[in-house]
Structures are given as C-alpha cells and as structure tokens.
Structure 1
C-alpha cells in the first residue's frame, strides 16, 4: 500500500503543476482559521483540531520558506536558485493546505450552528460581529473549493473571480476579528481601570489576572489578524489599497508572524486547559 502522505503528494503535484514563470507567485490565500479572533483561545484550539487543515506546522513551514526564499532571490543573487526552490516548496505547501481545506466545511458548519446567534454573549456588539464573522467563514470555504476545482479543470468556470470572492470573504472575516479584538481590549481596559464604587469590594486577584490574560490573548489575536489582513488585501485585485504590491518575502514575513502567534496562542490555551483539568 502507498502511504497516505505519499499519495497526497502525488495528487498535489498532478493537480497543481505550474509553469516556471509562476514560480515567484505568492502563496494562495490561507483561509480564515476556524474561530480565529472571535472565540476564546480554548475554543479556537478545539475547532482547529476538528478541521482537516488544522496543521499549523504546514502553514508556518510554507510561510518561512517563502520568507527565506524571497530574501535569497532578491538580496543574494548567488543563492537565487536555492531561493527559487524554497518558493516552489512554499507554493506546493499552500496547494496542500488548499486541498486539506476541502474537508473543513462540516466542522465549520457544526461550530456555526453551535454558536448560533451568540445568545451566550453579554455584549451585543461582540455577538453580531461574531455572527457575521462566522457567516463570512462559512461562505469562504465553498468559494475556495470552486476556485480550486476551476484551477484543477474539474469545473469550467473562471477561477479568478472565485479566488477574488474567497479572498474578500477572508478579508471581511479578519476585519471583523480586528474590530472584535479592539472592542474587547477597550472594554477590559475600562473594567480594570474603573474606580471602585463606594461600598463595593475591588476585583479579586484571581479575576483580575484572568482579565489581564484575556487582554493578552486579544492583543495577540489582533496582531495575528492584522498580519493576515495585510496579506489578504495584497491578494485582492490591483487597485484596492496595496493589492499586488507586496514582494514574496514580505508576504512570507506577515504569514510567519501570524502563524507563530496562532501557534503560541494554541499552546498557551492547551497549557491552561491542562492546568485547570482536575
């Protein structure tokens, strides 16, 4: 029997073999990871483990290859061949993640259904921003699937329109995540700095620490979403802000920052979950 990972590599090469002139093309948009920037870190980590594309190592490796490869191609002419090979690896890893996301629709739907209209949220702004973000994420996946199928010549449609639509949905999801994180940081900061009313006790130390930890988590989510948003705008059609102006190394840098922050949050959430488990 052929190992599963080997057969997957063969399918990736057959479906996504590119011409040499497209070697320097930047990574395909990496879709909005389930729960990024909206739910808590614990829920985000749980949702990522339920999705087929929840392998952050592939994302980090792909963006790191693009970062190093882009720098070598532009700054080190003597090592441009090595840089070109790294860019090829980066592109193939991106295609691999695109295929893995073909299996994420159901898990995303399950989470969206469980969250519903966010009745458990106390803040109305957070609730509706999260609902809209879930809707954008849910629509993102089928749009990307159609674009992938068009590139693979499974469907006879214009793939560029579907890539643009999927990227726009991803950018919308990230923008909503940024708005949510900023709002949460503002509210938490106000609660921590608000003077204690007469005849009321100050916040317990444990609750204050929990709020400070939540602020750190929201700040990391904000930075991660901003880095991804910079790349999302870059992949939109030219004429939209800075679309198409990023060199490969800058795309790799933004993606690497976002990926490392996401991995750190997942590891941190996992450690906190283990610490609280009896």
Structure 2
C-alpha cells in the first residue's frame, strides 16, 4: 500500500467521532497489552505504557461526556430491532441499548466524582456499577458481532 493511500484511508477513518474513538481504543488497548507483556521483563517500560493507556482511556471518557444525545437518537432509531435478521438479534440489540443508556449517566457521575466536581457518597460502589455496565455492554455487543458472523 502506498503512503498516500494509507494516509488517505487513515484520514477517512478519523474524520468521524466513531472512527477517532476506534483508533483511540486500539491505541489504549495496545498500550495496555504492551504494559502487561513487559510487567515482569521491564517494569519501567510497562509503567510508561500503563500510564499512556490510562491517559488515552481518560481522554475517551472525557469525550464520552457528550455522547448521551447521539446514544438516545441511536436507540430511538433502532427501536425494537424490527430491522434485525431474527428475534434474538433484536433482543440483544434492545438490551444493549438499554444497558448503554444506563451506562452513560453512571459513567458521568463517576467522571464528575473522580474530578472532584460532584461529591458522591460511596464512589467505589459507583465505580463497580460503572464497570458492571461497561462489561455488560461489551458482552452484549460481542454476542451481536459473533451472531452476525455465524
């Protein structure tokens, strides 16, 4: 692939919010993977990559502060999943949307608490709830993706 073609394709990917988020997610998880790989081999290098991953993750969380309205729009357009190929895909899609609609405000509460903007009682419980909804969202979307390829 020529350099020009690569640059053009990369720019096309990052022209949208979703594309930029995918690139940031790939960078974040790659740095986390490298940190884990080097944890016992080169702890100083692992620490630098872990910090990098954490900062990218923080940037993504900050950008998600404005995702509520687009998420609501997506959920309304998706509806009850009438356009899906079968009932299971529709149920997975609607459930994933409900989980995401709950996850976004919970994540905001955690972000506001972490940045000392909002005083939250039992911030750890909110973090656990946030992580639970994140895992559910990832799981449901993974199930949808796997079902599409089967």
Matches within 5 A, 1:5-24: none
Residue of structure 2 in register with 1:145 after alignment: 108
Whether 1:58 and 2:58 are equivalent positions in the alignment is no
Task: Between the two structures, name the one with larger relative contact order (CA 8 Å, sep ≥ 6).
Answer: 1
RMSD: 2.4
| Superposition deviation, residue 179 in structure 1 | 4.0
TM-score (structure 2 length as normaliser) = 0.76
Larger radius of gyration: 1
| Superposition deviation, residue 167 in structure 1 | 1.8
Residue of structure 1 in register with 2:76 after alignment: 113
Matches within 5 A, 1:59-208: 59-76=25-42, 80-157=43-120, 158-181=122-145, 184=147
TM-score (structure 1 length as normaliser) = 0.44
- Separation in structure 2 between the aligned mates of residue 111 and residue 58 of structure 1, nearest angstrom: 22
Q: Which runs of 5+ in 2 are unaligned?
A: 1-15
- Separation in structure 2 between the aligned mates of residue 176 and residue 88 of structure 1, nearest angstrom: 29
| Superposition deviation, residue 99 in structure 1 | 0.4
Change in Cα spacing, 1:50 to 1:106, as seen in structure 2 (3 Å) is: farther
**Structure in which a larger fraction of residues adopt helix:** 2
User: What SS does structure 1 have at the residue aligned with 2:118?
Assistant: coil
